[in-house]
Amino acid sequence: MLENYLERFKAMVDELRKHPEISVKEFAVMEPATPEELAEAEAYHQLVPGMREFYSQCNGLKLEWEYTGTRFVELGSPLSHVVGFIDIWPVQHTFKDQEGLLYFDEGDKFKGLHPIDFYVPEACVAIRFEGNMQPEMYYHYCGEEMSPIGMDFATYMERLLESRGYWYWPKALAEPEYFNEYNPVSYEEAGFRLVMPELFPNFNNANFPSIDGRTPPLSALDDLVNHGGGTADLSNYKYARSLGAKAGAAPTLQQSNMGTAMTAAGPGELMDGKPAQKKMMMAVLAFFAGNFGIHRYLMGHKNWWLMPLTCGLCGFWALADTVMILTGNLKMADGRDLLE
């Protein structure tokens, strides 16, 4: 099915456009890679299965969509904020040294990573070449962590199509580098597994097992929703992980106990230790002091320290963040909107 990837992406976007509760904000397809660009990439590293077919049809693509309905409001922020992003880089941008972007010295563990899908400014799915005879795909939070997601390039493209680029969907597959026993199911994973079956009847959670082959049982997702994630008793999920038992498929909203009162943080309330910030204040900080990363720190982004370390790329990050804040594309790290 590799030969018709581009048509399948177009069909997926058509499906999104026809959905009564989804608005497609952007869909852009780049021109196919030239034979010279493919040869240059091949000289850097052998193209893995699926790459030549994809890049010969389009040398990158971007997609942004947003859910515009109201049926997930009861989940509370950030689970109720349903969006999707895809940004597959051109082959010549992926197949080159990533020093200064993903790593900063020879001993950096991120050196072997090469971004494939930079779906948000602070995170991407990358392929790892260094020391890997069969390159695998990794979830990478810039400057912080990298976690394998258990698939190659061709499989990733298949799952990307099925996921529709749901916000941070790779975290549902990745093994967390830093396991949080109080919140083992991330908001990103919970949202993905709860919301996607509701929006798309043909979506199958079983196609997205975590790296260890398990998905959260119903009780874990119920607890996360009903207690806002921070203090939920996820003993059943932790017990399943410790035993290595195969957990059941994730529930739909109808299966979950949605009648219980929600206690997820609302606008301006604390979540993950950071209060929601005001949009104009963050925009002013980003514009005048963006090189120091203060605005990202206040918004809860763990990679804020990259900005002073790289001198803000001579002001580029400051300007880019200012624009993204004002347009609503850069939010609190947990997905909440900035306050007006």
Sign of the C-alpha dihedral, residues 9, 49, 152, 89? negative
- Mean pLDDT, the chain, integer: 77
pLDDT, mean of residues 305-329: 79
The confidence score (pLDDT) of residue 39 equals 95
Q: How far apart are CA 247 and CA 236, in angstroms?
A: 10
Summarised one tens digit per residue, pLDDT across range 246-265 is: 333 333 333 333 222 223 33
> Do the beta carbons of residue 175 and residue 212 sit within 8 Å?
yes
pLDDT, mean of residues 109-116: 91
**317 is written with which tokens?**
């990050």
Domain ranges for the chain: 2-172, 279-326
Q: How far apart are CA 91 and CA 46, in angstroms?
A: 12
The confidence score (pLDDT) of residue 172 equals 87
pLDDT, mean of residues 232-252: 34
Q: Which CATH class is domain 2-172?
A: alpha beta
Query: Among the ranges 24-33, 93-102, 208-217, 300-309, which has the highest mean pLDDT value?
Result: 24-33
Q: Give one DSSP letter per residue of 197-245, joined into a string.
A: HHH-TT--GGGS--TTS----HHHHHHHHHHTTTS---HHHHHHHHHT-
Q: How confident is the model at residue 41 (pLDDT cuts 50, 70, 90)?
A: very high
